[in-house]
Each structure stands twice: as structure tokens, then as C-alpha cells.
Structure 1
Amino acid sequence: MAKMRGLLGKITMPFPLGRPTWPANVERTIPKSKLGANYDTEWARRYSVRLVRSLITDYVTKPAINIVASPKVLGTDRLKGIDVPVIFAANHASHLDTPLLLSVLPDDFRHKTAVGAGADYFFDRKYKAVIWSFLLGAIPIERTRVSRRSTDLALEILRDDWNLILFPEGGRTPDGFAREFKGGVAQLALKTGSTIVPVFIGGTYEVLGKNKKGFSPGSTVVNFGRPISPSGSNPRDLTKELQSAVNRLGDEVYSDYWDAALRSGASSTPDLADNGDNSWIAEWNRPRFSDTFEDSKKSRWPRLPFIDKPL
């Protein structure tokens, strides 16, 4: 009986009694998933959704951030008079970076700003895609490969005069040290003519670093830099200029404006990355900094004892 069923199973019935055959010269197509980079976030930019999101940002997210992260905001004067759309490009150390940055953006930008988020992490499940699109105005960005869909969506956002928050490192730092910036931000700026605003975010790694299980409330700082025009640049040079600008903003926070300006003029700004004795973190840990405090342990990276020092 089993042998008979096996023989019957091999018999192919012609259409319409059996399955239709697929033409040999036609490529089979697999239906695209509606998640990841293909998730449609247009609904999250409708006015009604934006209104609810703005209320949540102003009356829930911002107070919560003030409790957990106690942010000090610097450089907002550098944002005055900038034409939209703007790409805010920041170093990335924590999931806290996005709500922190959104909560401290001036009102002119805050409620019409989208966030580029990893398609493989924030949009891999339907419920996650809905939550982050709604709460953050997030759009899916492919981090591991070049994606036409992600690029087109980001271009569409900017051409509709929406601002965009992007993290050029492509992901959170696992150890608190910055990584090399990728060229996506520069490519978008050059294609749309959008101004880039470099942003340094400090202290979030200690509050909620990667692989950390819970919050450790502490102090953070957000320092906005001078706008960078993409005109007359190529992607590689613009990316280097952006990373240098973020390095200088970190130097301003951990030393002072004047000394940071002198080092920038001499092309000796310490790097946010861990480059041994040349890194700004190594400079921060030298005795000339720790001698400033009674308890030298408080001056070690990534503490922020200079946050309350006026620039």
C-alpha cells in the first residue's frame, strides 16, 4: 500500500487537474516581505500621527529623559537661521541617543524630524515597526548592505522638507569608543543639497550602553556644531569633514571651546575613536585632568565632570 501511494505521488496531472507549470524562461519571484526596509512608514508622517507623537515627545519622553539622563544642551545658537531640511549626524553609543536628541531639538525642528533606524533591528517584527514608526518617526535603513529602497526613502523624506537624524557609524559602539563614519550621510546631503549639522552626544554609553541590562541614571550632554554645506565636496571628503567636526564638538565638551578651537586649527583634535595615546579619551585620563578633582576616579572616562563648566 505504501509503495502504491509512493507511485501515485509521482504522477503529475496536467493543468487544470494539477498545478500549473512554471515557464522555464521566466524567473520565479518571491513576494517581498512587508517588513525591514520594505515597511511602509508613510502613515507615521500624517498630521494626526505627528500631533500625537509631538504630545508624547513633549510631555512623556522629554520629562523621562530629564530624569534619567539630565541633559545639558550646547550649541543651539548655531542652529538659528538654518534652512530645512537638515541632516543631524551624531555619534552613537546608546539606544538613549535617539529619544535624547529628539527631546532637546529646538521646536523649529523637533516635530518634523524622522529618524533613520536599523531595518534589521527595529523593523524585523510588525509590532516593533509600528511602535518605533509611531513613537520616533523612524524609517528603516539597511545597515549591512546598500539598499535602493532605504536610499530612496531617505531622499523622499528630505525632499519633503523633513529633517533626518542619522548615525554615520551605522550602529552603537560596543565599548564607548567611536567608530569610523560611513559615507551614507554625505551621499544623501550631496544628492539633496541638505545641510548637515554635526552633533556630539556624551554620557549615554554610561547611562545605557550596548549590552547593558538597565539604566544607570547620570549626566549627559548634547553639543550641536556649525552647519556643514555639502556643496563643492565629494562623499569621502565630506565624511571626513563630518567626523572631524564631531571630534571637535567632543573636545569642546571635555576641555573648553578655546582650547578645542586651537587644536582644531592645528589639525590636532583628539579622535573620538580609541587610537591609543592620540585619542581624546587618553588625553582625558591624563593626570593634568584628574588633578582637577579631589577624587581622581570621578575624572575617568566616561564621566562628565566638565558638563557644568560654561563654554
Structure 2
Amino acid sequence: MAAEIEAGNTRYTSKIQATTRQTAQLLLLKPALMRMLRVHVHGANNIDGVEGAFIVFGNHSSHLDAPLILCSLPSRMAKRVATGAAGDFFFGNWLKSASMALFMNGFPIDRGKGGKGKRGMSGQLLSDGVPLLLFPEGTRSRTGAMGPFVPGVASLCISRGVPALPVALVGAYEAWPSKQKHLPKGRPEVHVVFGRPMTPLPGEIAHEFNERMRRQVLQLHDTTARAYGKKTLAEYERKVALDRAHETEIAALAEHAREQADKQEDPQ
């Protein structure tokens, strides 16, 4: 299997492909993104000097997330990054597959829904010196709140000895939430916030490093959100909790009403 994966990795490591991808990102992807959004990048100095393989990760709430991160990274880094994407969604037809390859060096992640991902591909790419862009939540948030991180990214960093580059995306959910069928309108404001590279501590296991990674993204996001008058992840989580409590209360009232109706029909 390793030999099969390695044989198929030429596109991800090719210097010619990287140059083509860099041109496509600079001339097509980035201008299109800047026409749709007002993008502000913070903390770019935190990733100065990062070389070799790494994993850039962040919160995930919009189809804009990967393009936003790639277009905010220095070009020398972005052209080499391979983006993990849902195999069942982005690699189901040739047009999506070709777009993912051209702009984002995409490779399929198998989510167990009939995708085309190959087991072990992320690790092999890192071993080949290819940086990755992965979202530890595994799927887009449907509420704006950040979901739990799956420890796979942390495990890869530990096993392959590569740093994790945290990035927080502020405003991406409002710009293009999952239920919105059209592209963003009115050039909404989005902030891309890079933190300092993170490395596992001596003896730190994947679940512990994973939790540190999640807390770092949360801190980067909410600090920036408060500074610019945006919703914090904590506020999104609070709204989700209130909505669930409201739904539970309505369900309880409905159940109580049914019980009262049953008693009236059957007084015995």
C-alpha cells in the first residue's frame, strides 16, 4: 500500500506542478477571493522561517476556509501545501477534482461515505516533505460553534515529527454559512489569524496535544473577535446551548400537554 501511495504522489511533490499552482493561486484564486471578501491577515510574522513539512490547522465553518488560509500564507508555502478534503464531496466528479488539484493541491480524505481517500496518505505526504492543510473538526460547523477536534492531526505531528501551525478564521461563518446557497454578498469582513508553530511536549500523547491545539485556535479566534466586534466561539457555543435548552423545554411542554390530554380522555 505504501508503494502504491508513493507512486501516486508525484503531483503533490512536483516543482512544475507547484509553480503552476502558485500562478493559479496568485492570478485567479486570490483575486476572486478578494472581490468577495475584505480579508485581514494577522500574525504572519509568527510563521516566518517555517520550512519543510508542517500541518496548518484551524476552525472550519465555511467552504471559504481552505482558500482563505492558502491565500493568506506566504506564496512560497502555499504553493507546496496539500489540502485534505472530503473525498465524497470534492472528488465525486472531474470538475471539482480538477479545481481541487489546480488551486489547492487537494487530496481526498475518506469520511466513510464512499470517498476516494487512501489510508496513510497524509503520513506519506508528510514523509515526502509535503506540508498539509487539515481541519481537525472533520467537517464544517453548522452553527458557527467549534466542534471537538479529532486527534488525528495531533497524532500525525507526533509520529512524523512536524510542527502544527494554528490559524483562526473569524467571520467566515457569517460570510458563507453552510445553509447559504449563494456566494457571499457585500464583501463581508473576514480575519485570518496565524499563531506560533506548536510542537508536542516530551511525552505528550495525541489527546493532550490535540486539546492544546484546540485551545490555541479558540484563544486566537476569540481574542481577535472581541477586538473587532465579531462573535466569539464562546458566544456561538452559548447560543447552541440555549437553542437546545429551548427545544428541550418545548418538547417537555408538548409531552406534558399530551399527558394531560390522555388523562382527560381516560379519567380512570
In the superposition, the TM-score normalised over structure 2's length comes to 0.77
Write the letter of the residue equivalent to 1:234.
Answer: I
The residue number in structure 2 matching 1:102 is 70
Paired residues of 2:70 and 2:78 also in contact (CA < 8 A): yes
Tell me the SS of whatever aligns to 2:192: strand
The residue number in structure 2 matching 1:121 is 89
3-state SS of 1:50 partner: helix
1:222 aligns with 2:189: no
Partner of 1:189: 157
| C-alpha separation in 1, matches of 2:164 and 2:29 | 25
Give the distance between the partners of 1:132 and 1:49, measured in 2 at CA. Answer: 13
2:48 to 80, 87, 99: 80
Question: Given that residues 87 and 166 in structure 1 are in contact (C-alpha distance below 8 angstroms), is that contact kept between their aligned partners in structure 2?
Answer: yes
In structure 2, what is the equivalent of residue 134 of structure 1?
Answer: 102
Following superposition, the deviation at residue 84 of structure 1 comes to 2.4
In structure 2, the CA distance between the partners of 1:44 and 1:163, relative to structure 1 (3 Å rule), is closer
Please say which of residues 217-226 and 82-91 is displaced more in the overlay: 82-91
User: 1 CA distance for matches of 2:125 and 2:135?
Assistant: 16
Q: Distance in 1 between matches of 2:105 and 2:240?
A: 40
Q: What secondary structure, in the 3-state scheme, does the structure 2 residue paired with 1:72 have?
A: strand
**CA separation of 1:173/1:45 partners in 2, compared to 1, >3 Å: closer, same or farther?**
same
Larger Rg: 1
Deviation of 1:273 (Å)? 5.8
| Structure 2 residues without counterparts, runs of 5 or longer | 243-268
Amino acid in structure 2 at the alignment position of 1:221: H
Q: Kindly indicate whether residue 236 of structure 2 is the aligned counterpart of residue 236 of structure 1.
A: no
Q: Is the 8 A contact 2:143 2:240 kept in 1?
A: no
| Structure with greater helix percent | 2
**Secondary structure of the equivalent of 2:219?**
helix
Structure 1 pair 201–207 and aligned structure 2 pair: CA distance change class (3 A)? same
Equivalent in the alignment of 1:274: 237
Q: Which residue of 1 aligns with 2:219?
A: 248
Deviation at 1:151, TM superposition (A): 4.5
Q: Is the 8 A contact 2:144 2:233 kept in 1?
A: no
Which residue of 1 is the match for residue 245 of structure 2?
Answer: none
Decide whether aligned partners of structure 1 residues 270 and 120 sit closer, same or farther in structure 2, where only a CA change above 3 A counts.
closer
User: Any gaps of 5 or more consecutive residues in structure 1?
Assistant: 1-36, 258-268, 280-311
User: Could you tell me how far 1:137 is from its partner in structure 2?
Assistant: 0.2
Percent identity between the aligned chains? 27
Change (3 A) 1:80 1:158: same
Given that 2:54 and 2:131 are in contact with CA atoms closer than 8 Å, whether structure 1 keeps it comes out as yes
1:92–1:173 contact (8 Å) kept in structure 2 = yes
Mapped to 2, the partners of 1:276 and 1:184 lie a distance apart of 28
1-structure distance, mates of 2:233, 2:103 = 36
> How far apart, in 2, do the equivalents of 1:230 and 1:48 lie?
33
What is the distance in 2 between the residues matched to 1:272 and 1:118? 28
- Structure 1 counterpart of 2:57: 89
- RMSD between aligned alpha carbons? 2.8
Q: CA deviation at 1:274?
A: 0.8
Q: Tell me, yes or no, if the aligned pair for 2:22 and 2:75 is still in contact at 8 Å.
A: no
What is the distance in 2 between the residues matched to 1:54 and 1:116? 18
Q: What SS does the aligned partner of 2:169 have?
A: strand
Report the Cα distance in structure 1 between the residues aligned to 2:175 and 2:130, rounded to whole angstroms: 30
Normalised by the length of structure 1, the TM-score is 0.67
- Answering whether residue 35 of structure 2 is matched by residue 64 of structure 1, we say no
CA distance in 2, matches of 1:195, 1:47: 23
How far residue 231 of structure 1 moved from its aligned partner, in angstroms, is 4.1
Q: How far does residue 129 in structure 1 lie from its aligned partner after superposition?
A: 2.3
Correspondences of 1:1-12 after superposition (within 5 Å):
none
Q: 1:270 to 1:116 in 2, by over 3 A?
A: closer
- Asked whether 1:174 is paired with 2:139, we answer no
Call closer, same or farther: CA 1:85–1:193 in 2, change over 3 Å. same
Structure 2 CA distance for partners of 1:77 and 1:212, relative to 1, 3 Å: same
Whether the aligned pair in 2 keeps the contact of 1:87 and 1:194 (CA below 8 Å) is yes
Question: Could you tell me whether the CA contact under 8 Å between 1:197 and 1:226 is conserved in 2?
Answer: yes
* Change beyond 3 A, Cα 1:118–1:180: same
8 A contact 1:250–1:272 mirrored in 2: no
